[in-house]
Amino acid sequence: MLLVLNECSEPSSMLMVHLTARLDMIRLLLALAAQIGQKIHQLDVKFKKALYGLKQAPKAWYERIDDYLQNLGFEKNLNEPTFYMKVEKATALIKLKLQMVKMFEMSYLGKMRYFLGMKVQQFGEGIFISQQSFSLKILEMFYMKRCKLAITLIALGEELSRNGDFEKVD
């Protein structure tokens, strides 16, 4: 599981915490962060299987961190139960990161750079995401890395027919 924290340089800022690795939510958070000029930080959770059990580790961890975040005053989103928000001083982000790394045995990965095959570049004017490395892996997997590049996926001027009985078009 991953935890995403957002910050901004304002005296008070919106801290947003997201606890899952769902691509649709990550894209939404990236769009939201870019729109309001925030940066996204990433933490990685290491589960202690001996402590929680093999199958119950994510559920037990979620219940624990859910209680922790709500006790800190974070509000859980009604439509997305793994998304929390809180308005706080910008300096609170540093304190929150340190507390969570210690309490939940997380690794702080810094500002998000890679996530689920996406390269994430965060600039002052916005956030750029790219799946170039993922696309290259797919091309390599199907032995298409050295194929001739084409702007379109079909030949221009060709009429497609189920039977193959067609005339060439100029």
Q: In what order do the strands lie in the sheet with 83-89?
A: 75-76, 83-89, 12-18, 2-7, 39-45, 106-111
Residue 157 lies in a domain: no
Report pLDDT for 92. Answer: 74
Do 127 and 121 touch, CB atoms closer than 8 A? Answer: yes
Length of the chain: 170
The owner of tokens 């996204």 is: 40
Residue 165 lies in a domain: no
pLDDT at 108 over 80: yes
Token pair of 52 as six digits: 């929680």
97 vs 9 pLDDT, higher one: 97
Residue 164 Ramachandran class (φ > 0 left, ψ -120 to 50 alpha, else beta): left
Residue 154 lies in a domain: no
pLDDT at 169 over 50: yes
Number of domains in the chain: 1
Q: What percent of the chain has pLDDT over 70?
A: 74
H-helix segments, the chain: 23-35, 49-52, 57-71, 92-103, 132-141
94-98, 113-117, 122-126, 137-141: which is most confident: 137-141
Token pair of 103 as six digits: 């309490």
pLDDT at 72 over 60: yes
Predicted TM-score of the model (pTM) = 0.68
Measured at the CA of 9, the angle between CA 15 and CA 30, to 5 degrees, comes to: 55
pLDDT at 42 over 80: yes
168 vs 73 pLDDT, higher one: 73
**pLDDT range class, residue 93, cuts 50, 70, 90:** confident
pLDDT, average across residues 49-78: 79
pLDDT at 45 over 50: yes
Domain assignment of residue 48, given as a range: 2-136
pLDDT at 168 over 70: no
Residue 166 lies in a domain: no
Residue 169 lies in a domain: no
Residue 81 lies in a domain: yes
